Amino acid sequence: MPGRSAEEWIRLSLRTPGILIFGMVLAPCGWILDLTATVAPNWRTLHDIPNTPPSEFIQQGIWDICRATETSTREECGLEDTTYFGNQIIPVAQGLMVASLIVTLIGLAVAIPGVRCWRDRPNWTVAGLGGLLIFLSGVMTIIPIAWYTHIIQDVATVSPTISVRVGYCIVLGYIGGIFEILGGFVMFIGICRCCGGKNRGEVRVEELPSRFTQRKPPPRRVEVPTLDRARSSASSVPYSRDSMDDDVSFPRAKSPAARSVNTSSSRPYDADL
């Protein structure tokens, strides 16, 4: 097309691209899961503790330690364990998990102005930068979760570690971090024009005529009867006034003649009376 570059791309519609919707849905879901994994005191549980009932166990998180039983929903939290909180992984996990939550919020705040669906086209650069921040926040979540899982049996504590089990915070942290990594990565790839522009819902300008021609259905041909067709001899319906006069079988009443008005004089005659 004249006056346009061959590398120019345009949107086919005003809808928000699917990759941005995918990222904007996964990022808040991952943030909620990461928040639960950060504040909940259940990164690991200690079972079969000596001199305690079999149903009693200890839950250890990165901020608090609680004692609970399998027969009751009440928990005793705020237990002191300087040995456990003195492990190197605990302050690292605290800092990275809090930083991940903050970076996710910043990434969403940056990405939202670029994903506005009421604009003619989204701001791919701003949305991509927001996706990059969300991707980094997911990485910051996976690092402490994976490290803690790797050394879960070796984390020192004053309580005797007879049986150590993985807590639900580890599972939620993994899921939340993966959600943020996937959502941020998918949003970030919108910056580049890979996959022929299809990942952004766009096509090249030079491809538009052919694609629109294929999609446009051919116009339907409608037969309109003409008014100038000749009268058929086999038809029983007359079409002209002459034929109507010829076909009638009774005499027609003659139209009255026009009445003459005498304008020569306004005086009436005897014949008129």
- What is the tens place of the pLDDT at every residue in 152-201? 888 888 877 678 889 899 999 999 999 999 999 988 887 775 444 454 55
Which residues, in sequence order, are CB contacts of 90 under 8 Å at separation 6+? 62, 84
pTM to 2 decimal places: 0.64
51-60, 66-75, 94-103, range with greatest mean pLDDT: 94-103
Q: What would the two tokens of residue 6 be?
A: 């061959």
Residues whose CB is less than 8 angstroms from the CB of residue 79 and which lie 6 or more positions away in sequence, other chains included: 58, 64, 65, 66, 67
Q: List pLDDT tens digits, range 1-43.
A: 444 454 555 555 556 677 888 888 999 999 999 999 999 988 9
Burial class (CB in 10 A: 0-12, 13-18, 19+), 251: exposed
| pLDDT at site 77 | 85
Helix axes 18-39, 124-150, angle to 10 degrees: 30
- The three-class DSSP label of residue 166 is strand
Architecture label for domain 13-212:
Up-down Bundle (1.20)
**pLDDT tens, residue by residue, 228-263:** 555 555 555 555 555 555 555 555 556 665 555 555
Radius of gyration of the chain, Cα coordinates, nearest whole angstrom: 44
pLDDT top residue among 138 and 195: 138
Cα 8 from Cα 261, distance rounded (Å): 87
What pLDDT was estimated at residue 245? 53
CB 106 within 8 A of CB 132: no
User: How far is the first Cα of the chain from the last one, in angstroms, to the nearest whole number?
Assistant: 93
Residue 196 Rama label (left phi>0; alpha psi -120 to 50; beta): left
